[in-house]
Amino acid sequence: MSSTTFDFSRWPPTLTGDQIESLTLHGTTYTLFNGLTYLPPGTTQPSSPSSAIHAPISLLPSPVPRSLFVRAQQLQSVYNILYSHIAMDDDFLDEVMGAVEGIGKVDEFTGRLWRGWKDIRNEGVVQPLHLGLFRSDYLLHTGEEDGKLSIKQVEFNTVSSSFGALSERAAAMHRYLHALTNYYGISSYLKSENFPANDTTKRLAEGLAEAHKAYGVPGAYILFVVQPNERNVFDQRWLEYELLQTHEIRVLRQTFEEITTSATVDPRTRALRISIHPTLSISGSAPDIEISTVYFRAGYIPSDYPTPTHYATRFTIERSRAIKCPTIALQLAGGKKVQEFLSHPGVVEQFVGETDAKELRKTWMRMWSLDDLNPSIPLPKSATSQSANEPRGTTLARELANSLVLKPQREGGGNNVYKHDIPTFLETLPEQERAAWIAMELIVPPRGVASYLVRAQGMTTNNGLESNGDRKGGKTVRAETVSELGIFGWSLFSRETGVHERGDVGWLVRTKGVESNEGGVATGFSVLDSVVLVDG
């Protein structure tokens, strides 16, 4: 927890129209030159890309108190260890996923992954190593009683933790704009020592390279499992280029659809092999390539598995000797239901020491399941609408709706239910599906913070912001915003080897208009941003 003398309501300092135009020109040109880019809307693959647009960006970095930024970095190692231990605790995950009213029985997507993983466990796991490339997401929170700022965790991501490479380039863009223009002297905070370093690409690639090394076959490849028609391809490609240039590790990219026909598992060695066209094989190598590590940038939403064959493909990969990032167990560990279970008294203490557990709990808002209620959270005296057969968790969610968000077991943005939409949603939610949802108290960021947001022409906007009609086509808008800080880390672990992890390996900031509840950059809700450190 921290106090601060910084006045968030006065950020950002005022820019003139000419200054906005100049910064927009220099910023967007920098993004295009340095690969802070997307494929344009409507791009289809596997056709070769012939154009790109800049990623949505902010013109100025967002203020974060230095002490809270450092604290988030320090906590990452504890979170790495926590989720590594959860993924190795079969009994705990079975309890969360398979209780009588457990999530695995009411959420079909999560349930299918869980049941497949149980079958694989019963057969005998071939590869005991797990690799996690993690991201812990936070918002600044204003204390209700004392007004002090703290960091509160939104969620912990264990699968497809994206934007590491692009966030590094967003930070570099802001440093460039400062070096070029000194931001026209509009703020004493905008100086080089307040722009923290960010080398996320290199350090995330180190995690993948460590897994490749542990596999022990130098000529093997790393497989990136990607979504079809992926527009956020450059964020992934930067990792691919770093692996080749620094570690001499080659990467293959395939969709689940392609893997259904290209993948085989050697019945004797359990090696995962991907077949490619003979003319594409490197001189002297076979057209079927052994895979050391499978990095999933797909597979976290139901639409990635349109047929039973796609689930079968995921399970085929899981049964192989390749190291998975993440394993199914680690993907399940990142679910919202696990996050809620950890908040119960004495639970997180099963995985980390009491001192670390106390520090983690400081970053959590209150949360509970709709099908029950954390006994440490009593019903308010005003609760009069609970029916005889309604769980207390549902009643509490209805009574406190305006200060809550409801979360399902989904990743990728656009899935949550907020505030005034909650009572109507609860009326339509089948009783048997309550276990699939958790309620979490909303984080309360500092009020009055604004930013200058820039989107490329043709970029879908889902955050309710309208252009202010600047001279070059209305791409830049000043709006009240909220910013989410993500801290990356990685962990390579097994029961046999223990946990080998790296704490803070980089960070990102995503900024959105206050009207928007969701936070996805690729889905058009947010822009990529960076940090300026301020008092506190």
For residue 118, indicate whether it is catalytic: no
Report the candidate in 334, 461, 347 with the shortest Cα–Cα distance to residue 407: 334
Q: What is the 3-state secondary structure (H, E, C) of 283-317?
A: CCCCCEEEEEEEEECCCCCHHHCCCHHHHHHHHHH
Residue 318 annotated in ligand binding: no
As a whole number, mean pLDDT of residues 313-331 equals: 98
443 known member of a binding site? yes
Cα distance between residue 416 and residue 414, in whole Å: 6
Please identify which of the residues 411, 513, 519, 526 carries the catalytic annotation. 411
Instruction: For residue 385, name the pLDDT band (cuts at 50, 70, 90).
Output: low
In the chain, what is the greatest distance between 2 CA atoms, to the nearest angstrom? 75
From 510, 513, 516, 530, the catalytic residue: 510
Residue 412 in marked binding region: yes
pLDDT value of position 387: 57
CA distance 264 to 275: 8
CA distance 498 to 485: 29
**Residue appearing with tokens 């013109």:** 59
pLDDT digits (tens, 9 = 90+) for 464-476: 343 333 333 347 9
Per the annotation, does 414 bind a ligand? yes
Per the rule left: phi > 0, alpha: psi between -120 and 50, beta: everything else, 247 is: alpha
Out of 87-91, 285-289, 525-529, 531-535, pick the least confident: 285-289
Q: Which residue has the higher pLDDT, 98 or 165?
A: 165
Give me the catalytic one of 213, 412, 462, 517: 412
By the 10 Å C-beta count (0-12 exposed, 13-18 middle, 19+ buried), 514 is classed as middle
366-441 CATH fold: Dna Ligase; domain 1 (3.30.1490)
Q: Work out whether the CA dihedral 471, 464, 511, 459 comes out positive or negative.
A: negative
Is 466 a residue of the active site? no
Catalytic status, residue 135: yes
Q: What is the pLDDT of residues 221-253, one digit of tens each?
A: 999 999 998 999 999 999 999 999 999 999 999
CA distance 343 to 360: 10
Query: Distance of alpha carbon 258 from its chain centroid, rounded?
Result: 25
Catalytic residue among 324, 336, 455, 502: 336
Q: According to the annotation, is 155 in a ligand binding site?
A: yes
- The domains of the chain are located at 8-341+445-533, 366-441
Which of 66, 84, 155, 455 is flagged as catalytic? 155
For residue 455, indicate whether it is catalytic: no
Cβ atoms of 10 and 446 closer than 8 Å:
no
Q: Is the dihedral of CA 446, 450, 456, 462 positive or negative?
A: positive
Phi, psi of 291 (to 5 degrees): -110, 125
DSSP string, 355-389: HHHHHHHTT---EEETTS--TTSPPPTT-----TT
Q: What's the CA dihedral at 290, 293, 295, 301 to 10 degrees?
A: 80
Say how far apart CA 495 and CA 73 lie, in whole Å.
26
Write down the pLDDT at residue 514: 86
Listed range (27-36, 71-80, 86-95, 363-372) with the worst mean pLDDT = 363-372
> What pLDDT, on the 0 to 100 scale, is given for residue 178?
98
Considering only 41-55, 98-112, 439-453, which range has the smallest mean pLDDT? Answer: 98-112
**160 labelled ligand-binding:** yes
Query: Cα(496)–Cα(513) distance, rounded to whole angstroms?
Result: 47
Q: What is the pLDDT of residues 353-369, one digit of tens each?
A: 999 999 999 999 999 98
Unique residue bearing structure tokens 């203490």: 349
User: Measured at the alpha carbon of residue 255, what is the angle toward residues 250 and 257, in degrees to the nearest 5?
Assistant: 135
Q: Is the pLDDT of residue 449 over 70?
A: yes
% of the chain exceeding 90 in pLDDT: 75
The pLDDT of residue 315:
98
Task: Please tell me the predicted confidence (pLDDT) of residue 470.
Answer: 35
Query: Quick one: pLDDT band at residue 493, thresholds 50, 70, 90?
Result: very high
Specify the pTM.
Answer: 0.92
Q: Clarify whether 162 is annotated catalytic.
A: yes
- Residues in the chain, total: 536
pLDDT tens-digit series, residues 97-154: 875 456 777 788 999 999 999 999 999 999 999 999 999 999 999 987 778 999 999 9
412 is catalytic: yes
Averaged pLDDT score across all residues of the chain: 89
